[in-house]
Structure 1
């Protein structure tokens, strides 16, 4: 027998044996496992609707299953949307499930910030930001910043659009609003993205491209995107350029802030007007004569806070306004609640004011349940474990938690789970119905629960009341929103609407 025939026979036997070995190891397959390609073809063909595709797959096999990628690519995952498994991993057995080195490699742009860190680095970051967010001076600064941005920029832009009678991308408006807001809150610098001429801001665009590239790394074998990164082609080239653009912007802000602080007197150091987060981080250790927060730490902190306080809010507001605009009865009840609490004339509400809006709070929770800004969470097991569902998790296994799918299971949220129903969050006594975080995971769960949860609700309520009281938001005909391919659940083509004055 010729040598090439021997090689062919041996290769064929190896493939057959390996194929059945994989089948044996994968006891709970989510999809059909093809030779060589694994289960990857089906998600790729359905990438344009990937979150709904995953939801449908999970409903067929139950709340938990296994995904195997192409052979020898290390793209094998456990996938779950079971609240009891989530509670086990994120709370009860928290220390066994970490972000891990692979996560940090994929999310390289995040650096060593709070979202990618584990162990002592994570504890330090969390403790630091917890103290900053609880600072009364900072909370007052945050409230004033949001109120001024809504009053002086958001409403005038919408009023201009209404007068022109043009179609506007409301998601783009929110993108600009949150970018200006987060820059002001974190850096003490307002880039003025939100204005009637809708200027193109290179940094804001670069930030979006980074997030899209990170999603791409999740859907591509590591060897492929690593090669693209090495030779600087395709999506990886975009990511490198985008990171450079963002880093130049942030480092310029850091350098400017350092120079500004170096000129301050002791009295100026104690003034309560300078309370953006970057100033606080620098000022604390300048007062203590310690050099702890170097430029890299500050850059990573800024990037992580941008993700937490910018795109997540944009996503939540965009889906909320689409849901409200397409559910007029809900809109009517929100307006009735506002009128009941504040009468006919409503300006930009304060933090204390928005706490009284229970039905609005429920409507925002419903939007977050159906369209969580971060649609999936990724964890890695340190040691072997057994999930409450009975599924075995081997050491180093990557576990994907589908928040999007979790909000669409009837046995979790009831037969009406696909309905936009704020009433499910309002008790008979008129209070908020508390749902456990492992069931309603929009703000994560366990020790890693989002520190900015309350601040996020405050901002969304202030924006929602300011817009709804003054304007009707009408989605243009035939506009079908589709989730974008990004780590944040934005609308692919934006939210195209017409703005009209609301009659008194």
Structure 2
């Protein structure tokens, strides 16, 4: 799980900010010490603490900068300073017209569309939302995918058969990583990933900006903190069928072997409507790319019985514990194709 977290951090900071943390280049057993990542992890920790505390208590801590709320203040400054430094550089490069042929991160792309610096804070918030919403959820989704591959080896066999048939150069090592068009040749892998997301999705919370009465007669006053029971939603038999609790990727595949497009109001992993996750397609592509490479080239056997692995108490529903795996390189046992 630590390695997947480092991978997600590397990907999201590179895409979002153009910063290369090289987390995977360090020691496997050493947690990332980059101030930015430590600061971002504080955001998640404090948010989780707020959910478990009376509102008056965490607001009091916030007002006086006490305990974890004091840590959050420091974390916000670290994140703000780094992001603003990157944005200032982007503005300078734009004005000097020196960045036209360079690789561009999200901040640079946003800044290129601006006529002035009036929306700098809006851009900062958008990119930070991309990072904060995507890093941990992507890490934990890939963790659950590995758990499910250990629980259901028949699914793993079908994924590998699909890769062997449709993308053999990935198995042989001729292809380092699949492209977007390559991933379209792997519909069963996408189905398996979506099925894992259905069963283990992050919790969503909202507060209405005005009082509302729902169809069933339930009245929700303005400002009420509402948590959507996504874990239960993914297992509702009246929505997903009698086998809703079962991990079965085939429910996503039509008779022609293509992935079925299901309404986001039913498959709620990335929300729906105007609040649907902007990074949904990116997150799916990242997870499918990583899983295609890992599952085709390595055997990942969980040290713990996969059916004993459970989730931790968190809005992001992470795998509880470190998720230790024994890893075996499959290339030595895969005969070269004739």
Q: Report the TM-score when normalising by structure 1.
A: 0.60
Aligned: 1:498 with 2:321: no
Q: CA 1:263/1:449 → structure 2, altered by over 3 Å: closer, same or farther?
A: closer
User: Is the 1:281–1:293 Cα contact (8 Å) retained in structure 2?
Assistant: no
Select 2:219's aligned residue among 388, 393, 404: 393
- Deviation digits for residues 340-364 of structure 1 (CA, Å, limit 9, x no counterpart): 1022525311110001211111101
Quote how far apart the aligned CAs of 1:248 are: 1.6
Match of 1:481 in 2: 309
Select 1:462's aligned residue among 289, 301, 308: 289
C-alpha distance in structure 1 between counterparts of 2:15 and 2:251, whole Å: 33
C-alpha distance in structure 1 between counterparts of 2:304 and 2:282, whole Å: 34
User: Is the 1:183–1:191 Cα contact (8 Å) retained in structure 2?
Assistant: yes
C-alpha distance in structure 1 between counterparts of 2:38 and 2:320, whole Å: 14
Select 1:293's aligned residue among 91, 116, 119: 119
1:108-123 matched pairs, under 5 angstroms: none
User: Is the 2:203–2:316 Cα contact (8 Å) retained in structure 1?
Assistant: yes
Match of 2:110 in 1: 281
Quote how far apart the aligned CAs of 1:305 are: 1.3
Select 1:251's aligned residue among 65, 73, 81: 81
Quote how far apart the aligned CAs of 1:184 are: 0.7
Select 1:213's aligned residue among 36, 43, 46: 46
Match of 1:360 in 2: 189
Match of 1:175 in 2: 5
Quote how far apart the aligned CAs of 1:400 are: 2.7
Structure 1 spans left out of the alignment, 5+ residues: 1-170
1:187-336 matched pairs, under 5 angstroms: 187-198=17-28, 199=30, 200-201=32-33, 202-233=35-66, 237-245=67-75, 247-259=77-89, 261-262=91-92, 266-271=96-101, 273-285=102-114, 288=115, 290-294=116-120, 296-336=121-161
C-alpha distance in structure 2 between counterparts of 1:441 and 1:486, whole Å: 18
SS in structure 1 at match of 2:269 = coil
Match of 1:42 in 2: none
Higher RCO (C-alpha 8 Å, min separation 6): 1
Match of 2:260 in 1: 433
- Deviation digits for residues 64-118 of structure 1 (CA, Å, limit 9, x no counterpart): xxxxxxxxxxxxxxxxxxxxxxxxxxxxxxxxxxxxxxxxxxxxxxxxxxxxxxx
Quote how far apart the aligned CAs of 1:398 are: 4.1
The structure with more radius of gyration: 1
User: Is the 1:483–1:490 Cα contact (8 Å) retained in structure 2?
Assistant: yes
C-alpha distance in structure 1 between counterparts of 2:269 and 2:210, whole Å: 25
Q: CA 1:291/1:265 → structure 2, altered by over 3 Å: closer, same or farther?
A: closer
Length, aligned pairs only: 323
Match of 2:277 in 1: 450
C-alpha distance in structure 2 between counterparts of 1:468 and 1:353, whole Å: 15
